[in-house]
């Protein structure tokens, strides 16, 4: 999905056209979202998801919506989810389609309100990422830098757990 967004931006630049600010912002969000999901993609880490409750979302059910204030992301167990936004003129712009093994909602770590939305394309099972333990794979406590950074504090230590 990101490569097609990049091509749109390239074509606009070559032709001398300026992208509408809203589309430019949406392309930036899509690029960040795609980069973050690549960090998460892979097998689930046993250190992150043990004994977690799984929620089932019905086809076309909104998992989270633009403007929401909750800072929750979801680990998809199975199913497909479209991630995108709604433009000011009411059109849906889809950034990506995610599947079991991916994460949705990762942009909530850097924004006070959600810039995107996620909608189940079919029955989808997902695990809520809130309260994810900050532990390394060996069970030791994840050492955090001395910081009051709210983004860091709200983000789990997922990087140590990425699978092949």
pLDDT digit of tens for each residue in the chain (164 aa)?
A: 444 444 555 544 555 555 455 555 655 656 655 555 555 555 444 456 667 788 999 999 999 998 888 878 888 889 999 999 888 888 998 988 999 888 888 777 677 888 889 999 999 999 887 665 555 555 565 555 444 555 445 454 443 333 33
Tokens of 39: 């960090």
Residue 80: the pLDDT is: 97
Residue 65 DSSP SS3? coil
Residue 135: the pLDDT is: 53
> Cβ distance 151 to 110 under 8 Å?
yes
Residue 136: the pLDDT is: 52
> What separation in angstroms does the CA of 92 have from each of 84, 88, 89, 97?
7, 10, 9, 13
Residue 57: the pLDDT is: 96
Residue 112: the pLDDT is: 81
Q: Which residues of 39-48 are buried (b: 16+ CB within 10 A; e: fewer)?
A: ebeeebbebb
> Cβ distance 99 to 120 under 8 Å?
no
Residue 146: the pLDDT is: 47
Contacts of 63 (CB under 8 A, 6+ apart): 57, 74, 81, 104, 105, 117, 118, 119, 120, 124, 126
Task: State the Cα–Cα distance between residues 5 and 31, nearest whole angstrom.
Answer: 8
Fold of 2-161: Jelly Rolls (2.60.120)
């Amino acid at each position: 999905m990101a490569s097609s967004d990049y091509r749109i931006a390239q074509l606009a630049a070559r032709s001398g056209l300026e992208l509408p600010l809203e589309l430019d912002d949406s392309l930036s969000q899509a690029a960040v979202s795609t980069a973050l999901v690549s960090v998460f993609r892979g097998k689930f880490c046993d250190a992150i998801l043990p004994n977690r409750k799984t929620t089932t979302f019905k086809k076309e059910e909104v998992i989270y919506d633009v403007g929401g204030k909750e800072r929750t992301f979801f680990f998809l167990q199975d199913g497909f989810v479209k991630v995108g936004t709604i433009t000011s003129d009411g059109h849906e712009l889809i950034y990506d389609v995610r599947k079991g093994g991916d994460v949705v909602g990762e942009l909530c770590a850097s924004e006070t309100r959600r810039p995107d939305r996620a909608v189940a394309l079919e029955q989808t099972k997902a695990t809520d990422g809130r309260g994810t333990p900050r532990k390394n794979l060996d069970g030791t406590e994840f050492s955090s830098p001395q910081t009051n950074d709210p983004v860091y504090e709200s983000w789990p230590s997922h990087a140590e757990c990425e699978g092949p």
